[in-house]
Amino acid sequence: MKEKIANLMAEINALAINSADEAENLRIKYLSKKGIITALFNDFREVPNEQKREIGQLLNQLRTVATDKIMSAKENFATVNSVDNSLDYTRSSDPIALGTRHPLSIVKNEIIDIFSRIGFTVAEGPEVEDDWHVFGALNFPPEHPARDMQDTFFVTRNPDVLLRTHTSSVQSRVMTSQEPPIRVLCPGRVYRNEAISARAHCFFHQVEGLYVDKNVSFADLKQALLYFAKEMFGEDTKIRLRPSYFPFTEPSAEMDISCNLCGGKGCSFCKHTGWVEILGCGMVDPNVLEACGIDSKVYTGYAFGMGVERITNLKYQVKDLRMFSENDVRFLQQFESAY
C-alpha cells in the first residue's frame, strides 16, 4: 500500500496538464468514484490496525496533492478561456469622442426644471391625435383656419386623424382624465404645414403649462411667468404682457421679456424695441373647462405655451432654425459644456 501511494504521488507530481479537457480526464481517472485514489481508500479497510494511522495520513496527503493540482489547472484554463463581457470587442481602437445633449434638449430640461420648483409635473401625450383633443375641446370653431390642410398635417383622408399642432392636446387629455387641482407641464414635438426657412419649420418643440384650481387668477399667472423669466434669463429680466387672442384662453396675452443682449436699451436683435416676445398665455376659457368636464363656476385656471426653439435662440443666439435638425456635428459640438 505504501509503495502504491508513493508511486502515485510521484506520478501526479510529474503530470503536465495542457488543457481543461485533460484536467477533467485526470480528475475522473484519479478522484472520481471509480478513480484510482478512491479505490485505495476502499482498500484501506484491509490495512492492519497498527498501520492505519500512517497509511491514512499518506492517503489524505495523496488526495490533497492530486485535488489541488488538477483543480488549479482547471481554474487556470477557465480564466484564460473566459470572455470579459464588460469589454466591447467590436469597438474601434481609435478614441471615440464623447457626445453632448442637443441644445433643444438642454433648454427643454431647464424649462421643466424651473417650473418643477413651483409644483408643475410633466404630462405627455400622442403626437398623432384626433380633432377633438387638438381643436374641439379647446374652443376652436369649425371654420377656424387651423383646421385646414394649409395649416395642419392630416394623417389619413379622415380629417379626424392628424399630427398635433400644439401640445395643448395633452392639456385637454389631462383635464378629461384628472380632477382638479391640476398643475402640469406638457413638453413635446408639434407639426404645422409651414414653409421651411431660417425662421420657421414644419416641426418644432413646445412646452405648455396648465394650472386649474379654485380661485386661480391672472395675478398667479403673471407671478409664475415672472419667476420663469428671471430663472431662465437672469435676475434683471423684466416682463410685459400685451393683450392678444387665443381660442382657448380669455383673457389672452403675449409675454415679452427685456432683451437679454442689450439689456432693454435696443439693438438689432430686438428690432430696437428693447423687448422680445417669448410666449402666449391667458386664463383658461370657461368653454374649455366645461368641454373637458370641469365646472367653470367652481374652478378657474391659467395656461401658457412657448416654443423651445424660440427660447434656445434667445439663450444661445442661434439665428437659423434649420440648424437644430440638420445634425451638423460642428454646430452640436458648441454645446459640449452647456449641460
Q: Name the residue among 290, 114, 112 with its Cα closest to residue 212.
A: 290
Domain that holds residue 327: 103-335
Find the mean pLDDT for residues 46-57. 79
For 229-275, the DSSP string reads HHHHH-TT--EEEEEEEETTEEEEEEEEEE-TTTTTS--TTTTTSSE
Q: Are residues 142 and 72 in the same domain?
A: no
Find the mean pLDDT for residues 274-287. 94
The identity of residue 66, as a single letter, is A
Span 308-338, pLDDT tens digits: 998 998 888 887 888 898 888 888 888 876 5
Beta-strand relationship, 275-284 and 300-307: antiparallel
Q: Are residues 35 and 155 in the same domain?
A: no
Q: Are residues 143 and 14 in the same domain?
A: no
Q: Are residues 149 and 290 in the same domain?
A: yes
Q: Are residues 135 and 205 in the same domain?
A: yes
For 116-141, the DSSP string reads HTTT-EE----SEEEHHHHTGGGT--
Q: Are residues 117 and 247 in the same domain?
A: yes
Q: Are residues 314 and 253 in the same domain?
A: yes
Q: Which residue has the cell 508511486?
A: 7
Span 126-174, pLDDT tens digits: 999 999 999 999 988 887 777 776 788 888 777 789 999 999 999 999 9
Q: Residue 122 contacts by C-beta under 8 Å, 6 or more apart in sequence?
A: 112, 116, 184, 185, 186, 187
Last residue of a domain, which of 19, 47, 81? Answer: 81
pLDDT at 244: 95
Q: Are residues 181 and 110 in the same domain?
A: yes
CATH number, domain containing residue 176: 3.30.930.10
Find the mean pLDDT for residues 280-305. 96
Find the mean pLDDT for residues 54-79. 80
Residue 183 has pLDDT above 80, yes or no: yes
* Residue 315 resides in a domain: yes
Task: Give the residue with greater pLDDT, 242 vs 7.
Answer: 242
* Residue 52 resides in a domain: yes
Nine cell digits for residue 90? 467590436
Q: Are residues 72 and 110 in the same domain?
A: no
* Residue 29 resides in a domain: yes
pLDDT at 294: 95
Q: Are residues 253 and 289 in the same domain?
A: yes
Other Cβ atoms less than 10 A from the Cβ of 192: the count is 18
* Residue 86 resides in a domain: no
* Distance separating alpha carbons of residues 201 and 193, to the nearest angstrom: 8
pLDDT at 84: 58
pLDDT at 178: 93
Looking at the structure of the chain, the number of domains it has is 2
| 13-17, 118-122, 297-301: the lowest-pLDDT one | 13-17
* Residue 87 resides in a domain: no
pLDDT at 83: 55
Last residue of a domain, which of 81, 115, 141? Answer: 81
Q: Which residue has the cell 395675478?
A: 219
pLDDT at 7: 80
Q: Are residues 110 and 229 in the same domain?
A: yes
* Residue 93 resides in a domain: no
pLDDT at 16: 82
Find the mean pLDDT for residues 49-72. 82
pLDDT at 81: 57
Other Cβ atoms less than 10 A from the Cβ of 339: the count is 13
Q: Are residues 153 and 301 in the same domain?
A: yes
Q: Name the residue among 329, 304, 318, 335 with its Cα closest to residue 199.
A: 318
Average pLDDT of the chain to the nearest whole number:
86
* Residue 66 resides in a domain: yes
* Residue 95 resides in a domain: no
